[in-house]
Chain A
């Protein structure tokens, strides 16, 4: 334990050091600050910065218990992989085991299967390994930008992250158990529990075909290290291209179902209007609801923040990240005039279709005001919309972001 603490401390110092040396490239606030402004329309946009959480560096404190920690946005300028220490955290219930013994942990597979399993971590790690990069994004990332505002976790844009995930395919585990004919869904549960009696345990399901697509992963490593406890140690479900609600943390129970899952977390919570961009008018009712599913395309400028002052006549580098959701990034376009004209940005290394992708461009402003915009088109030709979506849960925001700046 002492070693773990000193390792965590030295890691934190390293991060501080790395941050300090990289400071010149940030236009965003200094490391010494203890509050951050997200900023959200209509207020309550100040948040504390916390370093109090285990295995975590500087995080934006949304809620202490159960933890909700947002990644400070400048982290996304450092590269396409979000460091584990700065990866966002979101739990539903406050009963979270704080101690996990790798010798005693078991992953159970049960339900509509030929051979129920109780796998040790050693047995899981012995299965064929798979690895890929994938974006993990909260359904409600950017909820705080919804207008009219909606209740919930009032995130800025930092309830997302990209990591290299390593583990075994869910299919390999299901095949070992032998899914019986007639299975329709596979349900996942983690070690967290409701605080109150009869509170609905957080459980999520995927269709049996999705669960057996060979891509859905039971991950034991994140960016080539074991997962921080708050990101789901020791095992986390990875559902690439889908929202984080399905990425069950501390996964310890897999149940194959022979009838559709009607539990609260599938039927009621995390549902979206079955409309393009999950968009409805405030107050609109009678719209069919479906469980939230695939991520949509998004893109962000990461090195210039709103209100930045650029030097007139000097070429400025504009860069950021994009992701295509459940498909790769086909192109990223940049506009300096609020979307009147667009030009293609250069794309960085392709780390796989589910990953963040870097983009870069140059822009030489004259004196005046500019609205910088960035727009991602994915490989299915889905493009970010120019109008924000709205729904009462604050899900799936992916409007083209605007960054007002001036040059003098």
Chain B
């Protein structure tokens, strides 16, 4: 009889221990999210001087800052033509037909094969 009682007590103790472990685990991993409010920096970089610079900046900077262009390696004119075409056709950059040659020429001059 005594053994049975001891077993019951032990069992209960184990159950209590197990429950508190689960509770602790839950408490440990419960997350409360806090609202976030941030400011994103503006780019302070422009493109190098050259014919067509203004038309490039006024068109291309609508969607992305100068870094996108400044970090590009030397690329052939055909690649720059393809890039400008992609920006217009796929990403819907509102670039006038008449501005395209100036943009391609500028990019090729600044970022063409050396």
Contacts and interface: CB of A to CB of B under 8 A. Distances in A.
* Max chain A C-beta neighbours (<10 A), residue from B31, B38, B41, B79: B38
Interface stretch (A24-32, A197-205, A364-372): A197-205
SS class, residues of chain B in contact with chain A: loop
Contacts of B45: 64
SS class, residues of chain A in contact with chain B: loop
A68 B71 CA distance: 11
Nearest to A40: B73
Given A100-B35, A102-B33, A264-B90, A53 B75 contact: no
A315 interface: no
7 contacts: A44-B70, A44-B73, A102-B34, A151-B79, A154-B71, A199-B91, A200-B91
Given A65-B42, A65-B64, A94-B64, A151 B83 contact: yes
Interface stretch (A11-19, A54-62, A133-141, A254-262): A54-62
A72 to B, nearest CB: 16
Interface string B41-76: 111010000000000000000111111101111110
4 shortest A-B CB distances, which residue pairs?
A54-B38, A64-B43, A63-B67, A149-B73
A1 B37 CA distance: 7
B72 A99 contact: no
A121 B94 CA distance: 38
B39 interface: yes
A53 B38 CA distance: 9
B90 A200 contact: yes
B6 to A, nearest CB: 37
Given A94-B63, A196-B93, A198-B92, A53 B41 contact: yes
A65 B73 contact: no
Nearest to B32: A125
A233 interface: yes
* Max chain A C-beta neighbours (<10 A), residue from B41, B74, B93: B41
A131 interface: yes
Contacts of B91: 194, 196, 199-200
Nearest to B114: A43
Given A44-B73, A196-B94, A52 B33 contact: no
Interface of A: 1, 4, 40, 42-44, 47, 50, 52-55, 61-68, 93-94, 96, 98-103, 121, 125, 129, 131, 144, 149, 151, 153-154, 166, 194-200, 220-221, 226, 229-230, 233-234, 264, 268-269
Q: How large is the interface on B (under 10, 10 to 19, 20 to 34, 35 or more residues)?
A: 35 or more
B31 A196 contact: no
A269 to B, nearest CB: 8
B29 interface: yes
B40 interface: yes
Contact of A67 (B33, B34, B40): B40
A129 B27 CA distance: 12
B36 interface: yes
* Max chain B C-beta neighbours (<10 A), residue from A47, A52, A220: A52
A64 B62 contact: no
Nearest to A51: B41
Nearest to B25: A129
B33 A121 contact: yes
Given A98-B39, A153-B71, 7 more contacts: A1-B37, A44-B74, A64-B45, A64-B66, A64-B67, A195-B62, A196-B92
Contacts of A233: 36
B74 A125 contact: no
A195 B90 contact: no
Given A65-B65, A197-B92, A151 B72 contact: yes
Contacts of B65: 63-65
A125 B40 CA distance: 28
A4 B39 CA distance: 12
